[in-house]
Structure 1
Amino acid sequence: MGPAFHFLAKRFSLLKLRVYVQFQQGTELPSFKGSMLHGWFGHAIKAVDEHAFFVLYGSHGNQQPKPYLVCPSDDLKTHWHKNELYHFDIVLFGEATQLAESVLKALQYGQKLGLGPKRTPFSLTCVCSVLPTQLKAGIHPTCLSEWLTENAPAGPQTEIAIHYQTPIRVKSAGKIVKNKAPNLDEWLNHIIRRWRQLSTFWVVDSEELFSQLYVEQPCLGDYEISSHLYFEDWQRYSHKERDNLPFGGLQGQVSYFGDIATAIPWLAVGQQLHVGGKTTFGLGKYQLIT
């Protein structure tokens, strides 16, 4: 890690909100709830704050990433009973953290809309901030540096694993990767590209800073890859396009072993930002295991 990495990690703010709801009747919901939650939140934020809706859901330049995530929990079950609790996360990046009050109003308003195809009634039971070591009531933004560990494994040989928690949609040669694990150098490139794009539009736009960030990208030694990945071929129906759109990605776990310790802080950055396509729906989430 160099000065550009440290500067941007301290400058990059994020607000991770965890939302708990209780269903008022039994219902059926999709197994992956990211698309459902994304649409529901969009309707709710539009109803309470047009400006916030434009920032989060409006059409901007092709290279401008949306500064938020709506990420479902890991619970993929479809049948839910009355009074069961469910939770999901809404994450805001950079300047979008200033929209926190509007997000809270949207969550309150969203109770009127119901959830899922049947518009199942629910009550909002709790909204709290996710911090590196705890959940805390209220709105508490953090900076990216607070989520990074300073204790990289010592020694020339390091083993790490990446557990893909939601489908990962990354491209190689312009095509979605379906049958192989990205090597660690490719993975770092995806992270840096994502970090730079979010930072350019929502944190700080400095070509000099980003050029230095690329210079600081770690040069890895030799390493081995052990892949246990598969492609989850999901689709979602788009009311705008009136058609099913591809929504699948890689799932599973991949391990790396070798001279790779310097990659760990960068992988920790990607863990917070998600990588690949469809991140606003919660895709691209992974857990780093060191």
Structure 2
Amino acid sequence: MSSSDLFSLSYMPLLIRLKCCESARLPRYLGSTLHGVIGWILSMNKDVYQYIFENRKYGCGKLDIVNPYILEPPRYQEIYEEGDLLCFKFILLGNACNYTKSVIDTLVSSPYFEIGAGRKKFKLVDIFQADKLEPIYQSGKINTKLTVSKLSSTREQKEISKCSVHLLTPLRIRRAGEQLRELDFPTIIRNITRRLAALTERYGGHLHADAAASVCELSSEVHTISSGLYWSEVSRYSNRRNMKMDLSGMLGAMTFEGEMYHFSPWLYAAQNLHIGRNVTFGCGQIDVVFG
């Protein structure tokens, strides 16, 4: 089987750039804050909001229905002064890409993005298709000729025996109802194969189920040669739920050794799709380096 037959999924990575209009002190972890801001703006378009933010309501009462989007927050900057740029990614997955134009139109129509407890004003500067750095909205004009990107398994690398995985945002994985505080390679591979299965089943694309099962079996042969993981305490206050929510998780880096070429397509997919829980708040973002 060629690597291109393993999986395929449409995605539209929107790089959104905002300009600060007044001095603002923002929370340490912006993922949940930006999630609320984007949700509030998109709620102005009922169809868009229902499909992207409330899709799990159509899951016949099942828990943990996968969402068709991801958010990638910026690195921490406590103080934004007037004129500073705040950049983040909002990534549509699978059939949610069909709503790209409506998402852009709705975001552009908002006079300001009000961020943080003080509802500080940020103004939309431009929006790019992140993987191609092509402008979608710039200088008041919208590019209507959009080409959806494809996440596919064509990046298999031969003759690699080591791999480092860096957890950039808190990784939250539950097992038997408890948050994991340790991580091994099979857990990473199981998470990305399950995530791909859930996304492609619900939002289009394909996954070769036998290949996914096979790579999960092979993952047990990979060994951890170093680990620098630590637990990061993160919480957010949800205005909608009127309660504090826990977003704590693992951060740090690990290095693995084995016949890594089997896993490179899946790890690149994990790099794009995140793993674990709460990816819509930016959790579970990883970076992968092969050696």
Residue equivalent to 2:58: 60
Maintained 8 Å contact 1:9/1:143: no
Cα offsets for 1:179-203 (capped at 9, x unmatched): x2x2111110011011101111001
Equivalent AA in structure 2 for residue 14 of structure 1: Y
Equivalent AA in structure 2 for residue 164 of structure 1: L
Which secondary structure state, in structure 2, belongs to the residue aligned with residue 219 of structure 1? helix
CA distance in 2, matches of 1:7, 1:150: 12
CA distance in 2, matches of 1:111, 1:285: 30
User: Is the alpha carbon distance of 1:205 and 1:60 closer, same or farther for their aligned partners in structure 2, counting shifts above 3 Å?
Assistant: farther
Residue equivalent to 1:214: 213
Residue 204 of structure 1 and its aligned partner are, at CA, apart by 4.6
Residue equivalent to 2:152: 145
Residue equivalent to 2:228: 228
User: Is the alpha carbon distance of 1:150 and 1:215 closer, same or farther for their aligned partners in structure 2, counting shifts above 3 Å?
Assistant: closer
Residue equivalent to 2:143: none
Q: Match for 1:174 among 173, 177, 197?
A: 177
Which secondary structure state, in structure 1, belongs to the residue aligned with residue 114 of structure 2? coil
User: Percent same amino acid among aligned pairs?
Assistant: 23
Structure 1 stretches of 4+ with a deviation exceeding 4 A read: none
Q: For 1:123-142, what aligned pairs fall within 5 Å after superposition?
A: 123-131=123-131, 134-138=132-136, 139-142=146-149
Residue 30 of structure 1 and its aligned partner are, at CA, apart by 1.0
Cα offsets for 1:178-233 (capped at 9, x unmatched): 2x2x2111110011011101111001588xx4355324546143523311011111
CA distance in 2, matches of 1:163, 1:189: 17
**Number of equivalent positions:** 275
TM-score by length of 2: 0.87
Which secondary structure state, in structure 2, belongs to the residue aligned with residue 54 of structure 1? helix
User: Is the alpha carbon distance of 1:198 and 1:6 closer, same or farther for their aligned partners in structure 2, counting shifts above 3 Å?
Assistant: same
Residue 32 of structure 1 and its aligned partner are, at CA, apart by 1.0
Maintained 8 Å contact 2:167/2:287: yes
Gaps of 5+ in 2: 137-145
Gaps of 5+ in 1: none
TM-score by length of 1: 0.88
Cα offsets for 1:122-144 (capped at 9, x unmatched): 2211100022xx41112442101
CA distance in 2, matches of 1:253, 1:216: 22
Residue equivalent to 1:187: 188
Residue 63 of structure 1 and its aligned partner are, at CA, apart by 4.2
Maintained 8 Å contact 2:17/2:125: yes
Deviates more, 1:122-131 or 1:211-220: 211-220
Residue equivalent to 1:120: 120
CA distance in 2, matches of 1:187, 1:107: 34
The CA RMSD measured in Å over matched residues stands at 2.1
